[in-house]
Every structure is written in C-alpha cells, then in structure tokens.
Structure 1
C-alpha cells in the first residue's frame, strides 16, 4: 500500500473526523464533545450542504414528522413544539437542527464534501486520510454519517430511455402545483409514495402503482410506536430471542392526516407495477397501456458511501459489514444513522442519539480518551 505524503495532508489534523452534518453527524458531535474531544482540534464535522439542516432542507414543502416534537429530538435538547401543529413540518426540523448546531457550538464546516477515505499506511493503528474538496484531512478515527439523500434509487425498466414524458425521483419533488392537470404515475408503496399521491391527487390525474399491495398501519400508530417496536426488535435479536419482525411486521404506510384524507376520498387504491414504459406512457403485461405525462419514482434511497470505496470493506446485503456501528474490517471507522444495520431506528431523529453515544464510547476507548463531564 502506498502512503500519502505529508504535503497531501494540507495541514488538517484532528482526532476524530465526522463526515456529514445532518442529524446523525450532529448527534455524533454532541457525544464527542461530551466525551471530552475539543471542538476543532479534537473533532470536526464536515458537511457537503452549504447550510445547516441536513437532508431536511431538501424535502418537499408539505412533509411533516410522524411524531410530536418531544419524540423527535436529538440528545441533550428536546425539539421545541411547532406552534399550532402536533406533528412538526420539515421547515421546523431544519430550524431545530440549525439551532442545535449553534447551541452546542459544534464545529461543523459546511460546503465541504468528502470524496475518499484512505488508510495512511499498513499500520492498523495509524491514521486515516480523508480527501475533501478543500484538501486532505488526517484523523485517528472517522465517523461516516452521510445518510442516503445523496443517492436516490430508481430501478431500471424497459422503455425508460424512450419515454418522452418527464421522470423524476421523489428527491426532486417540492410542490404539487407544477403537476396540475397532468397525468402522473406515482411509483412506490411506502410512506413517500402514499404522501405524494395524497397531495398530487388534489391537482392531477394520478395512478398509484406498487410492487405489492400497500400495507397501512392502524390509524393510531405514529413514530412513537414505530421507535418502540424497532428498539424491542433489536433487544430481542441481541439477546438471541426470536425475531419479532419489528416495524415491517406492522405495515408500511403511516396514516398521517393527508394520507388519511386521501383514503376518505378513495385515492389510496394501488395497481400492480407496470412492466415497461412506452414513448407516451406505461404498459402492463396483459397489454393494457395508459398515457402518462409524468412518472414519479418514490423508490427510496441507498446508503451514500462512495467515499468509503478506497477502504475495500466487505459488504453484505448491499452495505459494509458492521459490528454495531463499527466497520468489521476497519476499527477506526464507524457508520452512523444509515438504518437498522447501524442500530435500531438509527435513521430517525430520536433513534440516532443512542447509536451515536455507543459509537462515541468505542471511539473514545480506541483513542484512550477518558469521558469528561456532560455537556450542558
């Protein structure tokens, strides 16, 4: 293995480097500071976004949380209530994350993208080098908290290249008004598909297609219940008990108010997934065709981990093998907030704090750092 030269390090040298300044990165920063790592020299957080708020600042405007503010908080500070609303909108979350960053003086550097993480040399206790848009950083440990927003997933279907209408992923959707009067196919049976169908159906001619019939959660189930169920499943698995199935055993779609209203209007009727796209629409195997102006792919995201490729980590089920949050092949690397494979409910506001705390404890132990008094 070829080591990088000192000139390539560009003078950025820290104990711990956190990649990603969204909810997972902020939770990591909070616990690193609480463990005694000094902001700036002990740890920094690099964020590709130009402003605070993580992926929440890019969400569609009508999006609301599944849970009340008090059940959607990062460690240390409860999210303030959203005035006049039981479930806070995305804009309220952005404001909360921005104030959280300021409240704890977290050293977040915005507008810096991490492109590659490499081992400095063959020494397993040596440093990791992180190549970024402003130079190369050197760290004893790295926490990757880049989430999934930067890697939207669209499956391949025959005819996609010849379809003359518009195709977009839910990540590119903001408001329903531009689709007024158009024929829109919404693809995907999860929460995003159901919520965007609900509001698009008010202005457009909509068709909902899913790979399998959508499963709706009971009306009284929200994010509080989902977090408890996910946590119970993780505890059961860790203790060798039978897999309860977790959240997936309950259903897929949370009946938030817009979806509830769409059900009352008779909108939540899904058709089987089409087989191909035609130049002017979509078609099924039985020969049925439908003219379409827009195909909206609500087909999810994949972990945004291209920066870890140089490490050559073993993969399982499409992501690096981990022990908790620690990469199985690289003890100096932790992956935080990507989904249940990095901790129960770790991709949620309330769930990421617990896994961030556990990751920080392991990092502190690795670096021989004694915990300090709690941050206030």
Structure 2
C-alpha cells in the first residue's frame, strides 16, 4: 500500500517560514505541498520595511521592526542560507532592502509563492487525537484561519511549523512613575529614522545591537543621546553626542529620569531598545504543556519540539544566532523527525533533558530571560542537528567569520561595516599565498589557512 504523504502547515512567510516551505517542497515523496499562512501581503517578515507604525488600515498591527537606514550587522557571507548565496557583487554588510530582495529571490527560485496564503490570520492551532491504523491514536492539528472577518476555515494537518519570529511584540520593562514622563515614549519597534529627533535629548534604554546602532544614528543628526544600560561600561569609541549612564530605575514626580547611580536628568524622549516578547496568540500554552513568558518558551526539546506534542515545531526561537543558517539546520532536522529518519526520545526523557540543560545554565549564572540565548554555542548546536539527521553541516568558515565580525564589532562599532569579505576555495587561497603580498596580509592568510584546512573554505578581507 502506498505511503500517505504528510500534510504540513507553516505559519509565517518570513525567512524561517520560507526555509521550511523550501525543504518541504524538496521532499515530494514524503510531504504534500505546504500551506503557508501569512498575515501580510508580502514575503519577508520583519525584513519588509514599512514607514507606517502602529496599525494598518485594517486594524492589524504593523509587524516589521525595520528602520529606514538599517544595515545588517552580519556579512552576507555568514547570513546566507548555505545553498543559496547572495549576489556576489554586493558588499558584505547589506541595507535591509537587499535582504528582502534576497528572500524574494529565494521564494521564487524554490517555487514557494503559489503555496502562500497572503492576508490570512491564523486564529487557532490545536491538537486533536485521531485513530491510527494500528488501533491507537495519533495527534493531528486543526488550523483555523481567516482571510477576512467572519470568513473562517478549519483544516487538518499532520504537523505545524511555527515560524512567526520574535521581533514584533515590543518588550517594555516596568519603570515606576513612567506615567509622569512629560516627553515622548516609544520602543525601537516604532523607530524608523533619526531626523525627527534632531536637537532633542534622547535616553536610549539598552545597549545591545539595536540600541547602539540607533544611538549612533541619532547622534549623527545632532540629538543629545544618553545610552542607559545595565552592562559594564562600553570601552568602544562612541560618536560625539553619546554619553553612557547606568540603567533607568524610575521617573520622578516632576517627569525627570532617575538612574541607578542616583543621578537625575530631564529628556525629551525615552526610547526603549529592550527587545521583544514571545507571542503566539493562536496557541493554548497550557494545553500544549508549554510555559510561554516574555523571554522564554519551555520546554522545547532541542529548542524545537514541545515534548508533549513534538509534531508542533518552533523554528527560530533561539536568540543571538546567525539566523538563516540556524533556520536551515532546524528545518532539516525537524523534517528528518517527521519522515522517521530520526526518532525522538519518549516525552519524559525529553522533558528531563530540557530541565537538566536549563538547570545547568542557571547554575552557571545564566538569567532566566537568557535561557534561549545561544551565541557562541550555536555552532555545536547546529553541528549536532546535522550529525544526528545526516545532512551537510555548516561550513566551519561560517563560524570563523561570525566570530571575527563579532570581535570587530566590539572594537569598532561604527566602522566594522566598512569591511568586505570573500569566501575562498583552496585553489584561490594557494594562489593568493604565492603572490606578492605584504607581511600583514601574509599573517592574515596564515590564519585563513588554518580555517581552510578545517572547513574546506576560508575568508579574506577584500
């Protein structure tokens, strides 16, 4: 008897959702064409820049957190899906428009668009038990969606990929007295460009990637910026017009801002660069055995599967990662589980493993809100997924270049994007080493050659 093809729903047509659809389509002997549900009328998710903030005319919230002049903080040589390079003529650090074009090209190249249902809200995703051929039960998923109010459709799928991202629901920490602030309060989600802040005093809360980047933009147009954060004082050179301070602890009755060090100052604008909350309004967390908080979703086995319902799959839940390569590994591993190539442990074992990993992190001093941060451990994680599921691992040069850029960003937060890189084959590397190059270049190539031997490719500055 012919094997029944599995039917998969994908929620979201951003980078993660497109990646899921691409790999599902590449397995026509195992899966039917995916149904991709997309809230907007575009592909690309947060990479779709919109000058509008707040809500659309239809009342739906604006999803994207992209600002006008954003350039990537990772080079395209690291960002790309491993089997789909960016245009080699482009520089390494791209304006957001080029990333959107890349995702459009990815979508068209793999024939994904016909399977996307645009302007469609997923209202509910719930598990249902159905009789299996062996006399037992299996879990299916009822997905209720609507293209317009009152026009609902419920369909059944074998599995659901949740690919909605986590850069659209702003996290605004509780600051006592915030109602007393006399100026403008906004989150980076609603920041688009710097010119309206020219000549104003702006307190930016948070000094991670967006906080630092937006502070530099504001300083360039003549804003007086106070970069407020809880981390140790940044030692990197900052533009004129930016000063650092301790974190904001309260707003005084007169509207002035009180900082942790006891100082008090006035400001025209409070700009929160404080990250985003997880939000899955179409899921019943309790029924799924999940604890969904602002900064964490647990338990997820391998950051992918709720142990109680492992055919519900979260893609891109981790933080401080190289997103597209990470998605690529997660999707292929998940599909290997669905097609039976990889067998997951029993529910209790998965839950125990997740709990043990979390407890080990907490004992090392990792805060609860950072349990999904991978950063430098992301490479071992992706290698584990590839090794277990039997697909090609990420090239070692991706890790090497990522770590190099991370180092450059800490040293030169304003200038690191001026560098361009090129991935090199063994033949190119040997030819370069044999040419007439400076001592400094020779030292650089010595490092590259070490990466080359390990990872089959290397990189160089160009």
TM-score (norm 2): 0.61
Q: Is 1:99 the equivalent of 2:105? A: yes
Whole-Å separation in 2 of the counterparts to 1:367 and 1:33: 19
Higher RCO structure (Cα 8 Å, ≥6 apart): 1
Runs of 4+ in 1 over 6 A off after TM superposition: none
Who is 2:84 aligned against?
Answer: 77
Question: How many angstroms does 1:314 deviate by?
Answer: 2.9
Whole-Å separation in 1 of the counterparts to 2:168 and 2:146: 16
Instruction: Verify the 8 A CA contact 2:41 2:119 in the aligned structure 1.
Output: yes
Whole-Å separation in 1 of the counterparts to 2:262 and 2:9: 55
Who is 1:86 aligned against?
Answer: 92
Instruction: Verify the 8 A CA contact 1:23 1:74 in the aligned structure 2.
Output: no
Deviation track 1:204-254 (CA, whole Å, cap 9, x = no partner) reads 1111100222557xxxxxxxxxxxxxxxxxxxxxxxxxxxxxxxxxxxxxx
Cα gap change, 1:275 to 1:82, in 2 (>3 Å):
farther
Q: Say which is worse superposed, 18-27 or 276-285, in terms of deviation.
A: 276-285
5+ long unaligned stretches in structure 1: 1-12, 217-259, 372-376
Question: How many angstroms does 1:36 deviate by?
Answer: 1.8
Q: 2:118 aligns with which of 110, 116, 137?
A: 110
Who is 2:145 aligned against?
Answer: 132
Whole-Å separation in 1 of the counterparts to 2:89 and 2:267: 38
Question: How many angstroms does 1:42 deviate by?
Answer: 3.2
Who is 2:224 aligned against?
Answer: 205
TM-score (norm 1): 0.74
Who is 1:47 aligned against?
Answer: 38
1:180-199 residue pairs with structure 2 within 5 A? 180-199=198-217
- Of Structure 1 and Structure 2, the greater helix share is in 2
Instruction: Verify the 8 A CA contact 1:182 1:293 in the aligned structure 2.
Output: yes
Q: Is 1:312 the equivalent of 2:319? A: no
Who is 1:358 aligned against?
Answer: 333
Who is 2:239 aligned against?
Answer: 265
RMSD: 2.9
Whole-Å separation in 2 of the counterparts to 1:149 and 1:37: 35
Question: How many angstroms does 1:288 deviate by?
Answer: 3.0
Question: How many angstroms does 1:172 deviate by?
Answer: 0.7
Whole-Å separation in 1 of the counterparts to 2:274 and 2:83: 34
Who is 2:414 aligned against?
Answer: none
Question: How many angstroms does 1:297 deviate by?
Answer: 0.3
- Which is greater in Rg? 2
5+ long unaligned stretches in structure 2: 49-63, 132-136, 148-152, 344-388, 390-462
SS at match of 2:310: strand
Cα gap change, 1:49 to 1:366, in 2 (>3 Å):
farther
Whole-Å separation in 2 of the counterparts to 1:366 and 1:162: 58
SS at match of 2:166: coil
Cα gap change, 1:60 to 1:37, in 2 (>3 Å):
farther
Question: How many angstroms does 1:197 deviate by?
Answer: 0.5
Cα gap change, 1:15 to 1:286, in 2 (>3 Å):
closer
